[in-house]
Amino acid sequence: MFNKKVVGLDIDDKEQGKKLLKVLRILKIKGKYRLSSSRRGYHFRLNVNNHTKKENLLIRYMLGDCYGRFRSDVRRFNHGIRHLDILFDVKNNKKASVWRKI
């Protein structure tokens, strides 16, 4: 279900994820992060003010969310599907790491 107060990101490249984490810390953005189940990238859940689904998609695009994930959610949005911004805890029988504060 869409959460107006959280933006989720899936950054597939570990180095890009580390750079984003550094920027978020400098900007004092509140939220959480973890290693993805593949251990090749990071998941982020950023705390934001209330916003629309369209604004959520724009934020994700601007911060480098996984393009395939982003594109799929744009299609869901355009078809009126309510479930967007999903980050999987388990994928291919592998678990993502625990959430940590930014």
For residue 51, the model assigns a pLDDT of 83
The residue ranges of every structural domain in the chain are 6-101
Residue 1 pLDDT greater than 60, yes or no: no
Beta bridge partners of 9: 44
Q: What is the mean pLDDT of residues 59-66?
A: 95
Q: What is the pLDDT of residues 75-90, one digit of tens each?
A: 999 999 888 898 999 9
How far from each other are the two terminal CA atoms of the chain, in whole angstroms? 23
pLDDT, greater one: 65 or 1 = 65
Contact of 84 with 28, CB cutoff 8 Å: no
For residue 79, the model assigns a pLDDT of 95
Q: pTM for this structure? A: 0.90
Residue 90 φ/ψ, nearest 5 degrees: -130, 135
Q: What is the mean pLDDT of residues 34-41?
A: 93
